[in-house]
Structure 1
Amino acid sequence: MKNDQRLPGRRALLRLAAGLGATAAVHTFAANPAGEELRATASPSADAAGPPSAFRAGPAAYRLQPMTAGAPVRYRPTAPPVRTRPFEKLPGIGHAMVLTFDDGPDPLYTPHILAILREHDVRAMFFLCGEMAHDNQDLVRAIADDGHTIGNHSWTHPLVTRLSRAGVRDELGATSEVIEKITGAPPLWYRAPYGAWNRNSFEIGAGLGMEPMAWTVDTLDSTGPGVGTIVRRVRDGAAPGVVVLSHDGGGNRSQSVTALRRYLPELLDEGYRITVPQRR
């Protein structure tokens, strides 16, 4: 990413004020005919670091390292309900799984992932960094036009647990704002960079009308483990309601693309439905 790019001003405060309490009126459901309510299970792991591999690599926007940290001591209360854990698995959606991609959109890798998903007529979740969305608006529109779910992954991919409340508002609010400006709709889901959550992020995310989404299976594709290893991790973790974490940005993601091309048809052949969560 561009280290010298400045975050937008405190416009996120206006959206936060408008969104406070909105989550209280929203029921979260999985994308299935019965509409069972989602429940959080398991505990999140952390994102990981970026690998080298096959496609011609563009300039690395940034490098991710696994990190965790504790929550700040002081909080300002917000309107209920505010979750204290993210969704990590989506029970009640039948024989279905959710594929998610973080850190994009990337002009080199995201189009390949979109093409594979389009070929198999499935939908996925894309958790976008605001800075990348701002710089690749046509790709954001392409993701939305293909019917995928767009989530908020912060503006610059910081360790949120080290930010002040104002910093969290800027990161999440500015990203929601740019996504809404491009697509016409604000994101309803967000994911903490590195999987590092705290009460500030839960409260501010809820105030912006978003639900927190983690994952069940971490492919660790961002560490460049090899295509076969990524495929094996998805296959070994496959189960109803599983949420799979992969990446389409943040470094060389050629292994992620090649692995998706291999494991997606295998999952479909085994009868899994690839879906996205819906809220109503």
Structure 2
Amino acid sequence: MRLSPAARSLGIVLLVLTALLGSAYAIARSLVPDGLRSGVTTSATGPHYGDQPPPSGETGTRPSRSGDPAGPRKDTGEPEIVDGIRTYGARSTTGTSTVALTFDDGPDPRYTPQVLAILRDFNVTATFCVVGENASNHPDLIQAIVADGHTLCNHTWNHDVTLGARSPDRIRADLLRTTEAIRAAAPDAPIAYYRQPGGAWTYPVVSVAQELGMIPLHWTVDPADWRVPGAGHIASTVTTGVEPGAVVLLHDAGGDRQGTVDALYRILPDLTSRFQVAALPPDPT
């Protein structure tokens, strides 16, 4: 069968368009990270769901270095995006020029007393995001934290990174159990903040924390001291990354934290020479 010249021309045009569209798709696809193509990647803190919602309870990722978002949305729980991180409105800065040091995962009988002693030497207060199990096992350390004027933050019962993907009732029970353990040691100490392990924020966990009267607390600077990179790396990351209003993430438990302790001897002289460094207020209102 012979095609007319017009039919042959139309066929050539269609072949050219098909090839161009295929090339454009391939180029665009190559520019998108694997995690966004598949909908999920993994990180040191757990799952990171690109632009695709996970099957149950959307989780966040590693921390952001940007400023505080305006707050959680009031509608159906659409996430706040801070440098590509879904924080759902969790606070990322102090809201003032003051810099806040925060210590997660404790208290720990080896490292927490060292951290408290160094903070005392520099006349600096901080915020301790404590795990319920550790608070229950070491009530004396909770009392020591409060006695030195530091503030407390709920950090779940056993550092459950996936807590935000659970039902609101499960989230509420975990947070209440942790608060009860803290208050068993320090009945009158305010617990004004909640920090989700791994920064794996979801709308339900933010909502439940707020319902219980706690401010969801993210961070601005993360030296990844949980990787045990050494005191020098921890100190340089903090001192070069801190700006007014920064919330610094550190750890006083959960592994070998001697590098963090040693880094404080470099961090505190630098920060206190440039900023006011103090705990987040126990009564933010």
TM-score normalised per structure 2: 0.69
Q: Which amino acid aligns with 1:237?
A: G
Query: What is the aligned partner in structure 1 of residue 150 from structure 2?
Result: 148
Q: Which amino acid aligns with 2:236?
A: R
Distance 2:159 2:170 in 1: 12
- Whole-Å Cα distance in 2 between the matches of residues 106 and 148 of structure 1? 16
Map 1:46-57 → 2, pairs under 5 A: none
Matched length: 209
Q: Which of 196, 201, 217 is the matching residue for 2:200?
A: 196
Task: Note the C-alpha offset of 1:71.
Answer: 7.8
- Within the candidate set 247, 255, 259, 1:251 is matched to 255
Distance in 2 between residues matched to 1:71 and 1:187, nearest whole Å: 32
Offset of 1:119 from its aligned partner? 0.5
Across the aligned residues of Structure 1 and Structure 2, the Cα RMSD in angstroms comes to: 2.1
Aligned to 2:234: 230
Matched residue SS, 1:231: helix
**AA of the residue aligned to 2:216:** P
Do structure 1's residue 179 and structure 2's residue 187 form an aligned pair? no
Calculate percent identity across the aligned residue pairs. 39
**Higher helix proportion (structure 1 or 2):** 2
CA distance in 2, matches of 1:208, 1:177: 12
1:122 aligns with 2:106: no
Q: Measure the CA separation in 2 of the matches of 1:141 and 1:66.
A: 30
Per the alignment, residue 68 of structure 2 pairs with none
- The reply on whether 1:72 has 2:51 as its aligned counterpart is no
- Equivalent of 1:276 in 269, 275, 279: 279
> Are 2:126 and 2:280, in contact at CA under 8 Å, matched by a contact in 1?
no
What are the ranges of 5 or more consecutive residues in structure 1 without an aligned counterpart?
1-47, 49-64, 75-79
CA distance in 2, matches of 1:256, 1:212: 24
**How far apart are the structure 1 equivalents of 2:55 and 2:112?**
33
* CA deviation after TM superposition for structure 1 residue 163, in Å: 2.1
State whether structure 2 residue 211 is matched by structure 1 residue 207: yes
Q: Secondary structure at the match of 2:272?
A: helix
Cα distance between partner residues in 2 of 1:105 and 1:155: 12
Any idea what the Cα deviations from partners look like across 1:183-239, whole Å, max 9, x if unmatched? Answer: 123411010011001121112111211010000000100101111110110011121
2: distance between equivalents of 1:217 and 1:254? 19
Q: 1:226 to 1:119 in 2, by over 3 A?
A: same
Q: Check conservation: 1:160, 1:197, Cα contact below 8 A.
A: no
Q: 1:73 to 1:243 in 2, by over 3 A?
A: closer
Q: Which residue of 1 aligns with 2:100?
A: 98
Runs (4+) off by over 4 Å: 80-83
**1:160 maps to which residue?**
163
Question: Is 2:246 aligned against 1:267?
Answer: no
Deviating more after overlay: 82-91 vs 208-217: 82-91
Residue matched to 1:110:
112
The answer for the alignment partner of 1:242 in structure 2 is 246
Contact 1:102–1:128, Cα closer than 8 Å, also in 2? yes
Higher relative contact order (CA closer than 8 Å, sequence separation 6+):
1
The residue identity in structure 2 corresponding to 1:251 is: G
Q: Secondary structure at the match of 2:256?
A: coil
How far is 1:178 from its partner? Answer: 1.4
Which of 1 and 2 has greater Rg? 2
Contact 1:71/1:161, CA 8 A, preserved across alignment: no
Q: Distance in 2 between matches of 1:246 and 1:73?
A: 27
Runs of 5+ consecutive residues of structure 2 not aligned to the other structure? 1-42, 49-53, 59-73, 81-87
- Residue 137 of structure 1 pairs with residue 121 of structure 2: no
Q: Secondary structure at the match of 1:244?
A: strand
CA contact (8 A) 2:100 2:279 kept: yes
Letter matched to residue 155 of structure 1: W
